[in-house]
Structure 1
């Protein structure tokens, strides 16, 4: 397994150019196609005296969206720095729904982290949480400012669920290239045997993996994952994303939410 096509979400926020550079570097290492994607729907006019005014406001908003999408494309082309094989996709459409649809063309989606202190990505920004629920593809969540993910050291946060199994499989191309990979389980929810099985599975796939189990009583699960990621000097964290949608509200467990908003390493997640 490898990555033949990598897709990156574009917006006009301050972290967008660095995210494209990271995606382009990743695509270069796997000789993959790099696809830039952006979308935004035209906002409905909130105040208007008559139909003519509604149409006028709508056309003005549409022109603004078209201009923003053009700026996003220009940013993508500059930041990709003449990467050998690129493609661009954009539309006047809801961003999450459009990117989830375009995910059919990619092995991996690269999106920005949307933490409370990460700055405003603007109307083209796509939060990773809802996208995780709809895309049916693994997502690499990138903190602001990172232009490269070496993935020399990595952590797999293991929980015995389908989501975690899908995340590990999706990360195999990166994990095979890592110098060391720590498979981390939080007891009692995950036992040492399960963590050992995953480490052994990875070893048999050519990964330099080791197993570790941490009692949750000593430290909160999310904090334990982040602390061990830092101790490992890892810039890649692999884990399942746990949540569900209800009436278009996106609900995640505390660990997933904490990682999505605060992790300083890139997080490869699957739902």
Structure 2
């Protein structure tokens, strides 16, 4: 199992350059194509006094949107460099829907963390939680400031659910290349969660793996997983993403939400 096509969401936020460099490094390692994706809607909710004025305003806003997309493409081409094969996809469209559509051609989608202090990525922003619930592809969430992912030590946050099983399968290209993989179960009942079976499954794929029961802290599972990952000098966490949509209102599980907003390590998530 390998990765052939990586997509990276491109916006004009402060963390976009780091994210593109990180995605390019992964593409180089897997000899994969890197595709930059960006979309920008034309802002049209402007009161006007005449049809002619409306047309003029729409033309101005459309030109601004096209300029933003051109700037995003220039950023992608500059930061991706010349070491990997690249492609570009963009449109005047709603960013979330457009990326979901384009991801049908991807093995992996690289996104930025969306924490309260991470800044405004602008009008090309794609909400990561909503994307996770809909895209049907593994998402690599990258915190700001991380330009490279070695993934030599990986923590698998295991819970015996469909989402976690999907995440382990989707992460196999990384797991089989890692020096060490730690299967961590937060809370009592690691045996009931089947951690030993997961370790045996990964071992069958040639993975150097061990299992670790972790206690359930008052601050939540995400904090304990991050502490354990730092202690083991890991730089990637693999986990299932939990949540659902209700009339386009995205409801995320606590650990999923905490990771999307607060992870200091890259996190590969599948739903």
TM bucket (normalised to shorter chain) is: over 0.9
Matches within 5 A, 1:253-268: 253-268=253-268
Tell me the SS of whatever aligns to 1:234.
coil
Matches of 2:143 and 2:7 in 1, distance apart?
Answer: 16
Q: Quick check: 1:187–1:216 contact (8 Å CA) kept in 2?
A: yes
Q: How far apart are the structure 1 equivalents of 2:20 and 2:79?
A: 6
Change (3 A) 1:119 1:193: closer
Q: Residue in 2 aligned with 1:186?
A: 186
3-state SS of 1:233 partner:
coil
Supply the distance in 1 between the matched residues of 2:218 and 2:45 (Cα, whole angstroms): 53
Equivalent residues in 2 for 1:45-194, closer than 5 Å: 45-188=45-188, 191=191, 194=194
| Contact 1:112/1:127, CA 8 A, preserved across alignment | no
Deviations 1:166-224 (A, max 9, x none): 11111111111111111011223754551111111111111111101123257621211
Answer yes or no: is the 8 Å Cα contact 1:17–1:75 preserved in 2. Answer: yes
| Distance in 1, Cα, partners of 2:144 & 2:31 | 25
Per-residue Cα deviation, 1:33-92 (whole angstroms, up to 9, x for no partner): 110000011122232222222222111111111000000000000001113311000000
My pick for the range that moved more, 40-49 or 96-105, is 40-49
Q: Is the 8 A contact 1:20 1:80 kept in 2?
A: yes
Q: Which residue of 1 aligns with 2:34?
A: 34
Aligned to 1:13: 13
What's the counterpart of residue 244 of structure 1? 244
Single out whichever of 120-129 and 85-94 deviates more from structure 2. 120-129
TM-score w.r.t. the length of structure 1 is: 0.96
* Count of matched residue positions in the alignment of Structure 1 and Structure 2: 271
Structure 1 unaligned blocks of 5 or more: none
TM-score normalised according to structure 2 size: 0.96
Conserved? CA contact 2:217–2:224, under 8 Å: no
- 1:158–1:184: 8 Å Cα contact kept in structure 2? yes
What is aligned with 1:233?
233
**How far apart in 1 are the matches of 2:220 and 2:69?**
42
2:159, 2:193 within 8 Å by CA — same for their partners in 1? no
Q: What is the Cα deviation at residue 32 of structure 1? A: 0.4
Name the stretch that deviates more: 67-76 or 51-60.
51-60
CA distance in 2, matches of 1:4, 1:144: 25
Q: Give ranges in structure 2 of 5+ residues lacking alignment.
A: none
- The answer as to whether partners of 2:19 and 2:112 remain within 8 angstroms in 1 is yes
Aligned CA RMSD, in angstroms, stands at: 1.4
Partner of 1:198: 198
Corresponding residue SS for 1:237: strand
* Separation in 2, partners of 1:88, 1:217: 44
